Amino acid sequence: MGLISFKDLHLDEVHDVLGGRGLLDRGPLIAEQAYRGVHGQFAQRFADIRGLSHRKVARLDDTFSLRALTLESVHEADDRSRRYVFRLDDGGVVESVLIPRHARWSLCVSSQAGCALGCRFCATGMLGLKRSLEPWEIVDQVLQVGRHAGVRVDGVVFMGMGEPLQNEGAVFQACRVLSCREGLQVSPRKIQISTAGVVPAIHRYTASNHRMDLVFSLVSAVPEKRALLMPIQKTYGFHELIDAIRAYAASRPKRHVTLEYIAIKDLTLGDDDIDAIREHLVGFPFILDVIPLNPVEGSSLETPGREEVRAWTERLRPLGFPVKVRLSAGQDRLAGCGQLGATLL
Ligand code: SAH
Ligand code: SF4
């Protein structure tokens, strides 16, 4: 029988596997010990976990593998954020970005190697899709960065490479593992899943009992502009997307939905953009997260000046919703949103 990848599993599933093979007869603690060792102390071999007898180590080794990504390089930016580059078993590359948030640490993870959606402003999109990641390949980004940086990762955002809602099963399983009580204990409330607008998956999410936050790459509120920037809009239209966001918002009353808006020079900072926001974004509470475009080579889109972004967002104030201007972490080390994978082009 082949070995099962340990980092794919929630503690309850580790129990089930061991129980199913009659290996729990020495008490259920073997599962907890192994789980705490791998997820809490970042052990890379079962033999390194303190307190596990040789017998238990042998049972675990006969059942599970501790497959891991290969850490290729780490790049630290001036703002203390760090970009981690990992090699996959089949040669692909994914990246994660560790972001300091006051006294805490948040990790931006990848859900796919590359991305199939081809947004015009995004370096990952220019790569095309190599493949989706498995749950353990998502979980291991968090484990390895925590181990390397010596920090407890407190929040996880799926804003790295890939479209998480085109890899739903693996992403949700990874979230279960990351929030497990004997593991990293990342609260689902501190996990954000960013989507470019895979409408049927948004509806499925709304109907589910997942507790992570979805955030939405609106990018532009003018349907024609969004269509030019995001080919996915040919499949799922603008109004369909807004309806899906509205239904999602209705399912979590009292919480604001985050909409990511990209500030692009001469394109998304006009009067018509303000009119479109006023016209289309009605009937649900939201925060507009304005991200000035991070330059991506091979694209003719330009980054606006700081003053232009500030002046435009000031004009949104009377509309009465919260607006944040978000400067991406680590731009000088190509770790900003949409820059992941830029070195692979
Ligand atoms: N595929 C998902 C998540 C990954 S992209 C999505 O599209 O939402 C994460 C965020 O980075 C998205 O909000 C996306 O709009 C933004 N982004 C992509 N390229 C960017 C760029 N060049 N400059 C600024 N933000 C960018
Ligand atoms: Fe894919 Fe998101 Fe980049 Fe679009 S913005 S190409 S969906 S990773």
What spacing in Å lies between the alpha carbon of 336 and ligand 1's midpoint?
9
Ligand 2 neighbour 201 (Cβ under 6 A): no
The CB-based long-range contact list for 251-257 (8 Å cut-off, 24+ gap) reads: 251/206, 255/213, 255/285, 256/285, 256/286, 256/287, 256/322, 257/214, 257/215, 257/216, 257/284, 257/285, 257/286, 257/287
Is the pLDDT confidence value at 252 over 60? yes
Q: What is the pLDDT of residue 259?
A: 98
Ligand 1 neighbour 335 (Cβ under 6 A): no
Whose CA is closest to atom 6 on ligand 2? 125
> H/E element holding 118?
none
The domains of the chain are located at 4-65, 70-344
163 among known catalytic residues: no
Distances from the Cα of 241 to the Cα of 213, 221, 277, 337, angstroms: 16, 11, 14, 22
Q: What is the pLDDT of residue 109?
A: 97
Tokens of 185: 């204990």
Neighbours of 151 (CB within 10 A): 14
- Nearest atom within ligand 1 for CA of residue 160: 4
Q: Please tell me what DSSP assigns to residue 299.
A: -
Ligand 1 neighbour 338 (Cβ under 6 A): yes
Is the pLDDT confidence value at 132 over 80? yes
What CATH number belongs to 70-344? Answer: 3.20.20.70
Q: What distance, in Å, lies between the first and last C-alpha atoms of the chain?
A: 40
- Averaged over 133-159, what is the pLDDT? 97
Ligand 1 neighbour 121 (Cβ under 6 A): yes
Q: What is the pLDDT of residue 245?
A: 98
What spacing in Å lies between the alpha carbon of 219 and ligand 2's midpoint?
11
> What's the whole-number average pLDDT of the chain?
93
Ligand 2 neighbour 196 (Cβ under 6 A): yes
If one compares 335 and 84, the residue with the highest pLDDT of the two is: 84
Is the pLDDT confidence value at 91 over 60? yes
Is the pLDDT confidence value at 26 over 80? no
Confidence of residue 345 (pLDDT cuts 50, 70, 90): very low
What spacing in Å lies between the alpha carbon of 188 and ligand 1's midpoint?
21
Measured between alpha carbons, how far is 197 from 218 in angstroms, rounded to an integer? 8
Whose CA is closest to atom 8 on ligand 2? 162
What is the architecture of the domain spanning 4-65? Orthogonal Bundle (1.10)
Measured between alpha carbons, how far is 29 from 246 in angstroms, rounded to an integer? 45
Confidence of residue 101 (pLDDT cuts 50, 70, 90): confident
Nearest one of 267, 273, 263, 260 to 305, comparing CA atoms:
263
95 among known catalytic residues: yes
